[in-house]
């Protein structure tokens, strides 16, 4: 008997994907913490979508703060938020904000002249970190440590998208992200301007706790697994490592960045003043 013909399919036809009319020119930000962080930093979303039903009561304080900050609020079905967010956990709320753009290399050199008070600049350089979750987590750690900025190359790097902003929990709006054309060349210029650059590498002989981060400095983190690229490694003044006592050979880049940044914070707080 021939296959095909008019034989009906055992599977039903796929449901058409819902077309969602989102605010033009704005970027969605998912989740309670990400939206709350924007409000706390006086960067209220232009528009806020709240899930209909119990979420309206659960998020009443957030809703009140958004209205007070001038956000336009809409209540929408959960299905709409699910379709909009995809895999991202929206937690019943999506804000729409102006897209974030990285700072230019020219701005980096101008800012570097302004930094130094009350303490010398502390920078985080990310080489080949393409996962937006890792970039968002690194921005969050940089914000918590009081770092002056994060530097990434234009190629082979995650961009400032909605996932980065959600994971960063507001840090993407407060920590400058500088995008440079040639990372190794920019590192050479940083050194000429008096910034000591320490790269992280498992084969380094110096522990991060034995390095000196009291002056103007930058910490360089490579992508998990791949580490620093050759030219990036060669552009560093020194290499440091974390003591790995267990069976794993490396840490997630955002975890390693947090440890190194807060070691710099610890040293600077202990350093004599005056």
Which CATH number is 155's domain given? 3.40.1280.10
133 with 84, same domain: the answer is no
67 with 131, same domain: the answer is no
Residue 7 counted as domain residue: no
* pLDDT tens digits for range 122-137: 999 999 999 999 999 9
pLDDT over threshold 90, residue 53: no
Cβ within 8 Å of residue 157, ≥6 positions away: 126, 128, 129, 130, 135, 179
- Tell me which of 79, 97, 115 is where a domain ends: 97
Confidence of residue 247 (pLDDT cuts 50, 70, 90): confident
242 with 205, same domain: the answer is yes
pLDDT at 88: 64
Residue 12 counted as domain residue: no
Cβ within 8 Å of residue 245, ≥6 positions away: none
Residue 73 counted as domain residue: yes
Residue 9 counted as domain residue: no
Claim: this prediction has a pTM higher than 0.75: yes
85 with 212, same domain: the answer is no
Size (the chain), residues: 274
The domain in which residue 265 lies consists of 105-270
141 with 254, same domain: the answer is yes
Looking at the structure of the chain, the number of domains it has is: 2
pLDDT at 214: 94
Q: Where are the alpha helices (DSSP H) in 69-182?
A: 78-85, 105-114, 132-145, 162-168, 171-174
85 with 132, same domain: the answer is no
pLDDT at 223: 86
Positions of E strands within the chain: 27-30, 47-51, 72-76, 93-97, 122-127, 149-153, 177-180, 196-200, 206-207, 217-222, 238-241
Q: What mean pLDDT value characterizes the chain?
A: 87
Residue 14 counted as domain residue: no
164 with 255, same domain: the answer is yes
136 with 80, same domain: the answer is no
184 with 87, same domain: the answer is no
Mean of the pLDDT values across residues 229-243?
95
């Amino acid at each position: 008997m021939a296959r095909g013909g008019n034989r009906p399919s055992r599977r039903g036809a796929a449901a058409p994907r819902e077309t969602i009319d989102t605010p033009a020119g704005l970027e969605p930000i998912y989740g309670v913490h990400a939206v709350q962080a924007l409000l706390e930093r006086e960067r209220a979303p232009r528009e806020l979508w709240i899930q209909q039903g119990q979420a309206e009561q659960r998020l009443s304080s957030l809703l009140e703060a958004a209205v007070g900050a001038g956000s336009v609020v809409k209540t929408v079905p959960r299905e709409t938020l699910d379709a909009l967010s995809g895999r991202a956990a929206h937690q019943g709320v999506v804000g729409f904000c102006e897209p974030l753009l990285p700072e230019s290399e020219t701005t980096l050199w101008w800012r570097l002249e302004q930094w130094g008070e009350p303490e010398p600049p502390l920078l985080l350089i990310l080489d080949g970190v393409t996962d937006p979750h890792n970039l968002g987590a690194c921005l969050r750690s940089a914000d918590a440590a009081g770092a002056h900025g994060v530097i990434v190359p234009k190629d082979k790097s995650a961009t400032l998208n909605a996932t980065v902003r959600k994971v960063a929990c507001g840090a993407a709006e407060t920590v400058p992200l500088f995008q440079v054309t040639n990372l190794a060349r920019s590192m050479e210029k940083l050194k000429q301007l008096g910034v000591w650059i320490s790269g992280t590498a498992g084969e380094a002989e110096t522990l991060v706790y034995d390095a000196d981060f009291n002056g103007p400095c930058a910490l360089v983190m490579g992508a998990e697994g791949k580490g620093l690229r050759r030219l990036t490694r060669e552009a560093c003044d020194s290499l440091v490592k974390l003591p790995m006592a267990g069976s794993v050979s490396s840490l997630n880049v955002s975890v390693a960045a947090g440890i190194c940044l807060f070691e710099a914070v610890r040293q600077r707080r202990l350093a004599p003043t005056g």
